[in-house]
């Protein structure tokens, strides 16, 4: 089973819980731009527990065309009372600040999908377009949007390699190492060498390494004392990369490559190539790094 692709503390754009105080901002105002489903539920409502995951799945598959807001009426009864809700679960669709449609009861996924499609049109999206949008969102640092795009692909195809790789890299950037690892366990046997998976695994490996390098100032002092402390240089490069100082990370590894190709079986070059895999071919730091690497190798 695919791990939940959205963690509220880091990545949550189209699904959220609301309160009576936030209802106007989360529902009324947002519905001026896109339709919003409001799922009224309570902890004691058994059918609610069946319905909410289906609503989340359908909304994720919409790729941002609609948002879902959940409201626990046991804690926040005012809005449900104003809308005259008598039984649960109850779902209302808001558009342009007004409730325009709704239903009660735990409907099957096919009916919920049909309900949403009446509001926003067909949910089936162009997979290639979603992947491109997800990659663009990673580049611009919009991790919530990237997660939504890749997750929308995985709703219908849990083994789509580019979507799995993209979602894993999104988690790495968000600092969610366990989730990134979990996503990569879904890669089908024999597909680990796919370019998207290789890039995601490289990004994950670099992030794990970065978590163990310690204080960068100590590494810098060690190098100042002994410029041939190549392990300190390599660790410093990994730490600099974690701070998004990619060109500085490249420079540290180039120093190792220039000084001693035999150290750690050409360890400086191997680390640099792992960076290239994690960053992508067209990343500016990759271009910079390949140019510097060529100047050393072919001098």
Strand order in the sheet with 98-104: 15-17, 67-72, 36-41, 90-95, 98-104
Read off the pLDDT band of 280 (50, 70, 90): confident
- Does 127-190 match 216-297 in CATH topology? yes
* pLDDT for residue 8: 35
Rounded to whole angstroms, how far apart are CA atoms 60 and 21? 25
Q: Which residue has the higher pLDDT, 207 or 128?
A: 207
Residue 23, pLDDT above cutoff 60: yes
Span 11-24, average pLDDT? 82
Which residue out of 27, 36, 45, 200 is catalytically annotated?
A: 45
Span 62-84, average pLDDT? 90
| CATH 3.40.30.10 matches 15-120 | yes
* pLDDT for residue 185: 95
* pLDDT for residue 184: 96
Span 114-122, average pLDDT? 89
Rounded to whole angstroms, how far apart are CA atoms 173 and 7? 13
Out of 1.10.645.10, 3.40.718.10, 1.25.40.10, 3.20.20.210, select the CATH number for domain 216-297: 1.25.40.10
Q: Is 45 a catalytic residue?
A: yes
**Poorest-confidence range of 44-48, 99-103, 120-124, 166-170?**
120-124
Q: What is the mean pLDDT of the chain?
A: 90
Read off the pLDDT band of 7 (50, 70, 90): very low
Cite the DSSP H helix spans in the chain: 23, 46-61, 78-82, 109-120, 127-139, 143-156, 161-173, 177-184, 195-210, 216-225, 230-242, 246-259, 267-279, 284-297
Per-residue pLDDT tens digits for 255-274:
999 999 999 999 999 999 99
* pLDDT for residue 124: 63
Residue 246, pLDDT above cutoff 50: yes
How do the domains of the chain map onto residue ranges? 15-120, 127-190, 216-297
Q: Which residue has the higher pLDDT, 7 or 38?
A: 38
Span 161-170, average pLDDT? 96
Residue 172, pLDDT above cutoff 80: yes
* pLDDT for residue 123: 73
Distances (CA, A) of 288 to 135, 250, 281, 284, 292: 21, 8, 11, 6, 6
Tell me, which fold does domain 127-190 have in CATH? 1.25.40
Which residue out of 38, 48, 184, 240 is catalytically annotated?
A: 48
Residue 180, pLDDT above cutoff 70: yes
Read off the pLDDT band of 125 (50, 70, 90): low
Residue 160, pLDDT above cutoff 50: yes
Q: Which residue has the higher pLDDT, 11 or 264?
A: 264
Span 142-161, average pLDDT? 89
Span 142-158, average pLDDT? 88
Q: What is the CB neighbour count within 10 angstroms for residue 195?
A: 13
């Amino acid at each position: 089973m695919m791990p939940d692709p959205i963690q509220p503390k880091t990545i949550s754009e189209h699904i959220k819980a609301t309160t009576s105080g936030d209802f106007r901002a989360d529902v009324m105002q947002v519905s001026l731009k896109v339709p919003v489903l409001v799922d009224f539920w309570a902890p004691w409502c058994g059918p609610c527990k069946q319905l909410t995951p289906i609503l989340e799945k359908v909304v994720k598959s919409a790729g941002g065309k609609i948002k879902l807001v959940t409201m626990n009426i046991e804690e926040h009864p005012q809005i449900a009372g104003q809308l005259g809700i008598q039984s649960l679960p109850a779902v209302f669709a808001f558009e342009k600040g007004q409730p325009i449609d709704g239903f009660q009861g735990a409907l099957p996924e096919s009916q919920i999908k049909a309900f949403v499609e009446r509001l926003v049109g067909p949910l089936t999206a162009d997979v290639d377009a979603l992947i491109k949008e997800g990659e663009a969102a990673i580049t611009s640092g919009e991790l919530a949007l990237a997660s939504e795009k890749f997750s929308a692909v995985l709703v219908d195809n849990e083994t789509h390699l580019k979507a799995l790789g993209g979602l894993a890299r999104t988690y790495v950037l968000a600092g969610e190492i366990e989730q990134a690892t979990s996503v990569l366990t879904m890669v089908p046997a024999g597909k680990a060498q796919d370019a998207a998976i290789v890039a995601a695994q490289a990004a994950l490996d670099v992030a794990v390494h970065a978590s163990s390098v310690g204080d960068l100032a100590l590494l810098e002092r060690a190098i100042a004392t002994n410029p041939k402390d190549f392990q300190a240089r390599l660790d410093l490069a990994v730490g600099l990369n974690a701070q998004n100082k990619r060109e500085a990370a490249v420079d540290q590894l180039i120093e190792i490559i220039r000084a001693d190709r035999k150290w750690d079986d050409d360890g400086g070059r191997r680390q640099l190539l792992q960076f290239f895999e994690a960053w992508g071919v067209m990343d500016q730091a990759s271009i910079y790094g390949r140019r510097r690497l060529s100047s050393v190798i072919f001098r």
